[in-house]
């Protein structure tokens, strides 16, 4: 087996996180009318890390934060080989007239984000929705969806997979490029 190629190291990730936090502050100021929603499962780890940074380094303590699961909104229900398992949705506020920042780790086909946009409607009519992703795989989109904020843009072929790892979950901060097993 070929060992996975490292795309971003721990240090690079910290720099990117700070940059993304600053970009959010630039656009949303004190977050009075903005909520942050992480997509289950992997987007939540990224979003939580960002929340921690906004609190500890930028003293923004009052940001509303939710977790959104999109399993029941996916368009590939019954089209996959393996059944989907749902995760917890935890949004205990209404997003009516709010600016929503949707956070996921990797933007690939855009289908998860499409599902998330539908799922968000169940929580009210937001004023706006922005998308932040850590990795943007820009040439593999199936739908007209683009991020407003991105950690790093990567150009990889479809047979390769980008894995974002977080200390809290995977014991390290790193982004890998992994060859998918032959089909």
Shorter beta-carbon distance to other proteins: residue 88 or 170: 88
Question: Binding of other proteins at residue 65 (CB under 8 A)?
Answer: no
Task: List Cα–Cα distances, 26 to 21, 29, 142, in angstroms.
Answer: 9, 6, 30
Minimum separation from the CB atom of position 86 to other proteins (A): 4
Is 120 within 8 Å of 68 (Cβ atoms)? yes
Minimum separation from the CB atom of position 84 to other proteins (A): 7
Question: Binding of other proteins at residue 143 (CB under 8 A)?
Answer: no
| R_g over Cα of the chain | 16
Minimum separation from the CB atom of position 10 to other proteins (A): 31
Minimum separation from the CB atom of position 47 to other proteins (A): 19
Question: Binding of other proteins at residue 121 (CB under 8 A)?
Answer: yes
Task: List Cα–Cα distances, 61 to 34, 56, 64, 82, 145, in angstroms.
Answer: 13, 8, 9, 40, 31
Shorter beta-carbon distance to other proteins: residue 78 or 183: 78
**CA nearest neighbour of 37 among 107, 118, 129:** 129
Question: Binding of other proteins at residue 83 (CB under 8 A)?
Answer: yes
Is 150 within 8 Å of 169 (Cβ atoms)? no
**Residue ranges in contact with other proteins by CB under 8 A:** 69, 71-74, 77-79, 82-86, 88-89, 94, 118-119, 121-124
């Amino acid at each position: 087996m070929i060992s996975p190629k490292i795309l971003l190291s721990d240090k690079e990730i910290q720099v990117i996180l700070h940059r993304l936090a600053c970009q959010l502050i630039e656009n949303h100021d004190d977050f009075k009318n903005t909520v942050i929603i992480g997509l289950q499962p992997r987007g939540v780890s990224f979003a939580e890390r960002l929340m921690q940074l906004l609190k500890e380094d930028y003293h923004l303590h009052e940001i509303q934060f939710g977790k959104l699961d999109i399993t029941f909104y996916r368009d590939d229900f019954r089209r996959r080989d393996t059944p989907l398992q749902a995760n917890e949705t935890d949004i205990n506020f209404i997003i009516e007239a709010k600016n929503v920042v949707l956070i996921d780790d990797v933007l690939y086909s855009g289908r998860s984000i499409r599902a998330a946009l539908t799922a968000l409607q169940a929580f009210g009519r937001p004023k706006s929705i922005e998308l932040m992703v850590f990795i943007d795989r820009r040439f593999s989109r199936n739908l007209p969806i683009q991020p407003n904020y991105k950690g790093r843009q990567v150009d990889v072929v479809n047979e390769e997979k980008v894995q974002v790892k977080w200390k809290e979950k995977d014991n390290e901060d790193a982004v890998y490029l992994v060859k998918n097993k032959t089909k």
